[in-house]
Amino acid sequence: MLQRLFETDGEVADKEILPCLQELLADSSLADICSLQCLGAEVVIEAAEGKRLRKEGVREHIFPLAMSMLSTNDSKVIQAWTKAVILLLPLLDTSEVEKTVLPFALENGEVSKSADQRLLCASLVGALASNLSVEAINGPSTSATSKSAPSLFKRAMALCQDTDHN
């Protein structure tokens, strides 16, 4: 039913349904919240694959929710929302991607992070490579990241040498 609403009246979905979905999935007091969060990711993935999402709704509601889901402690939730974020990247302005996703990916790829976080970084790095300019990929760091942060290319090369994941 939600998919049909995206198809028939995207503006209503953006203004009325997506804020409710965002609030529901962020409510950690709900029983079995991880299952609901994974289901929410599946809905977003299906809508994104079907090209039924509007840029406005993605920017205002879905993308902030998706980025917050990547910071949870549940690996299933992170895995589900990683795919959603990757599918949402083409619907975002490059400046927003450079300001939010790029620093997040670079931070999660540090050697001190867990193997799951570095795997998340690797997935995002792969998706970012086709959504950013050569300058943003090769560095020096964009204004959104600190001057000491590695470039996306250097982080990708370091991840290629990471042997810690099964």
Which residue in the block uniquely carries the two structure tokens 């000491």?
148
Query: Contact, 120 vs 108, CB < 8 A?
Result: yes
pLDDT for res 88: 96
Q: Contacts for 83-87 with beta carbons within 8 Å, 24 or more apart?
A: 83/41, 83/45, 84/41, 84/44, 84/45, 84/48, 85/124, 85/127, 86/123, 86/124, 86/127, 87/44, 87/45, 87/48, 87/49
Comparing 154 with 9, the larger pLDDT belongs to 154
Q: What's the mean pLDDT when you consider all of the chain?
A: 80
Dihedral, CA atoms, 87, 90, 94, 99, nearest 10 degrees? Answer: -20
Is residue 128 very low, low, confident or very high in pLDDT (cuts 50, 70, 90)?
confident
Is residue 81 very low, low, confident or very high in pLDDT (cuts 50, 70, 90)?
very high
Q: What is the CA radius of gyration of the chain?
A: 16
How much of the chain, in percent, has pLDDT values that exceed 90? 29
Cα–Cα distance, 57 to 69 (Å, whole number) = 17
pLDDT for res 146: 46
pLDDT for res 126: 85
pLDDT for res 145: 46
Q: Where are the beta strands (DSSP E) in 35-152?
A: none
Cα–Cα distance, 92 to 81 (Å, whole number) = 16
Cα–Cα distance, 61 to 127 (Å, whole number) = 21
Is residue 130 very low, low, confident or very high in pLDDT (cuts 50, 70, 90)?
confident
Query: Contact, 14 vs 56, CB < 8 A?
Result: yes
Is residue 109 very low, low, confident or very high in pLDDT (cuts 50, 70, 90)?
confident
Comparing 7 with 124, the larger pLDDT belongs to 124
Could you report the per-residue pLDDT of 18-74, keeping only the tens digit for each? 777 777 777 767 667 888 899 999 999 999 999 988 899 899 999 999 999 999 889
